[in-house]
């Protein structure tokens, strides 16, 4: 088995959506592994609390107020990393939002918002970090979902944004095959975070509750550890559950069967938008 000599010690890692959920777990896990972490999120007060806590424990962490839908904020995030630490070794594009509604009922502004955050946020940050990641032969990570491998009913905007992210990152990987750049797509299973409560409904308002049993899901820390391992071993895709791996296999072999499976599963959610 291939053994990695990679260590996060002194590596500079930029993480978006870092104030909660998977992003915050990545901050904590990678800081504990010795990385210098640059945290980006809109919730600056939360970021500053995290920064104070981690720096008090001896970690090198800085907070940067970042709305990934604003290209200027993404430029500032990368420049802040360079000003503080002089380099960028890893970019984890984690910032994201979800949705839950049938497309026929959904306001187009919701689809646009999903694309702005999930897709263009990744594009903006990657564009401005890329020269420095090529210099360090570093890693770009897109935190995605099985919804980026096969359409997820009731989540049209979410699936579309993740499919777009996949196409962007896979093409970027091919363009840089000879440049030493590592590009990885990470697809957690359902993870116990606030993402479902914050998911947008048909009119763009937050759902406000989770339609799933959170206690049975992966924890954000488990996801962060697997992302860290994927970076260490320079994996192409990290699909984190058996169900996810099986879904990707079915998508390649019998996609029409997966259509029915996804429909059946999602229609059984409480207050499902379809039956």
pLDDT at 207: 78
Residue 5 inside a domain? The answer is no
DSSP state of 237: E
Residue 259 inside a domain? The answer is no
Average pLDDT over residues 126-138: 98
Is 209 catalytic? The answer is no
> Is residue 61's pLDDT more than 90?
yes
Residue 108 inside a domain? The answer is yes
> Is residue 46's pLDDT more than 80?
yes
Query: pTM of the full predicted structure?
Result: 0.92
Residue 122 inside a domain? The answer is yes
Is residue 87 very low, low, confident or very high in pLDDT (cuts 50, 70, 90)? Answer: very high
Q: Name the H helices within 59-180.
A: 71-85, 108-114, 121-136, 156-175
Residue 269 inside a domain? The answer is no
3-state secondary structure 19-69: CCHHHHHHHHHHHHCCCEEEEEECCHHHHHHHHHHHHHCCCCEEEEECCCC
Average pLDDT over residues 71-91: 98
User: Tokens for 157?
Assistant: 């905007």
Q: Find the catalytic residue in 124, 158, 209, 263.
A: 158
> Is residue 128's pLDDT more than 80?
yes
> Is residue 196's pLDDT more than 60?
no
**CATH number reported for the structural domain that contains residue 79 in this entry:** 3.40.50.720
Residue 255 inside a domain? The answer is no
Is residue 193 very low, low, confident or very high in pLDDT (cuts 50, 70, 90)? Answer: low
pLDDT at 191: 67
- Total domains in the fold of the chain: 1
Domain of residue 27 covers 12-247
pLDDT at 126: 98
Residue 45 inside a domain? The answer is yes
Residue 189 inside a domain? The answer is yes
pLDDT at 143: 97
């Amino acid at each position: 088995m291939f053994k990695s000599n990679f260590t996060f010690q002194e590596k500079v890692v930029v993480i978006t959506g870092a104030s909660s959920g998977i992003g915050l777990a990545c901050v904590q896990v990678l800081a504990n592994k010795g990385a210098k972490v640059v945290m980006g999120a809109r919730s600056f007060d939360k970021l500053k609390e995290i920064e104070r806590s981690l720096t008090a424990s001896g970690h090198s962490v800085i907070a940067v107020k970042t709305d990934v839908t604003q290209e200027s904020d993404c430029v500032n995030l990368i420049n802040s990393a360079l000003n503080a630490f002089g380099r960028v070794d890893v970019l984890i594009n984690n910032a994201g939002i979800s949705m839950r509604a049938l497309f026929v009922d959904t306001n187009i502004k919701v689809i646009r918002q999903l694309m702005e955050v999930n897709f263009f946020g990744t594009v903006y940050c990657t564009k401005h970090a890329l020269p420095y990641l090529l210099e360090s032969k570093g890693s770009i990570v897109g935190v995605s979902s099985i919804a980026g491998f096969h359409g997820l009913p009731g989540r049209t905007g979410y699936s579309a944004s993740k499919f777009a992210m996949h196409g962007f990152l896979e093409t970027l990987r091919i363009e840089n095959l000879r440049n030493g750049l590592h590009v990885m797509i990470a697809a957690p299973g359902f993870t116990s975070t606030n993402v479902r409560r914050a998911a947008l409904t048909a009119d763009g308002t937050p759902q406000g509750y989770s339609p799933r049993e959170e206690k049975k899901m992966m924890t954000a820390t488990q996801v962060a550890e697997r992302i860290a391992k994927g970076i260490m071993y320079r994996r192409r895709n990290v699909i984190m559950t058996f169900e996810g791996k099986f879904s990707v296999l079915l998508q390649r072999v019998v996609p029409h069967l997966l259509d029915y499976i996804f429909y059946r599963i999602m229609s059984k959610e409480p207050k499902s938008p379809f039956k």
